[in-house]
């Protein structure tokens, strides 16, 4: 179990701050904490995500989920389902729709992956056995 008082923080590149604010705040429903000329900070499911403005065009759609992505592993299936419903209702682009991985093993979990406007991949997961969340 993690603490409630500390926060994970992740800094990622984005190529357009307005597009990032639209994606994370208006589509994904994260709260916008702060905006500076070169970055926005977001309360991403309780942790801190910082989107840094980066020069150049956004990358092509990534070729693989690996090795770099981030997201949330939900303890409750209902929270996983609610976020998937949000992504469908608000037409957020999926990189991969829901699938089951490690089928029949203790690590079995469902997962889906969203794509942000700068090509960052967001994976959301739910494990049958919550001890496997790590």
Given the rule CB under 8 A, which residues bind its own copies? Answer: 1-14, 25-26, 29, 31-35, 41-48, 52-54, 65-76, 79, 82-83, 85-86, 89-90, 104-107, 123, 125, 128-134
**Distance in Å, CB of 93 to its own copies, minimum:** 16
Shortest gap between Cβ of 12 and its own copies (angstroms)? Answer: 6
Mapping DSSP to helix (H, G, I), strand (E, B) and coil, where does residue 66 land?
Answer: coil
Burial degree of 106 (CB within 10 A; 0-12, 13-18, 19+): exposed
Nearest distance in Å: CB 34, its own copies? 7
With beta carbons less than 8 A apart as the criterion, state whether 39 and 70 touch. Answer: no
Work out how close the CB of 97 gets to its own copies at its nearest, in angstroms, rounded to a whole number.
18
Give the nearer residue to its own copies in terms of CB position, either 61 or 75.
Answer: 75
Residue closer to its own copies (CB basis): 61 or 106: 106
Contacts of 55 (CB under 8 A, 6+ apart): 15
| Cα–Cα nearest to 33, from 23, 19, 21, 15 | 21
């Amino acid at each position: 179990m993690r603490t409630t008082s500390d926060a994970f923080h992740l800094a990622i590149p984005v190529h357009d701050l307005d597009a990032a604010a639209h994606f994370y705040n208006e589509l994904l429903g994260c709260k916008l904490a702060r905006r500076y000329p070169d970055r926005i900070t977001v309360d991403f499911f309780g942790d801190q995500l910082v989107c840094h403005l980066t020069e150049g065009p956004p990358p092509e759609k990534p070729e693989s989920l690996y090795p770099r992505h981030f997201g949330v592993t939900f303890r409750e299936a209902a929270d996983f389902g609610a976020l998937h419903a949000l992504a469908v209702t608000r037409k957020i682009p999926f990189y991969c729709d829901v699938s089951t991985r490690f089928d029949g093993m203790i690590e079995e979990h469902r997962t889906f992956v969203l794509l942000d406007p700068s090509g960052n991949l967001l994976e959301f997961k739910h494990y049958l056995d919550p001890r496997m969340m790590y």
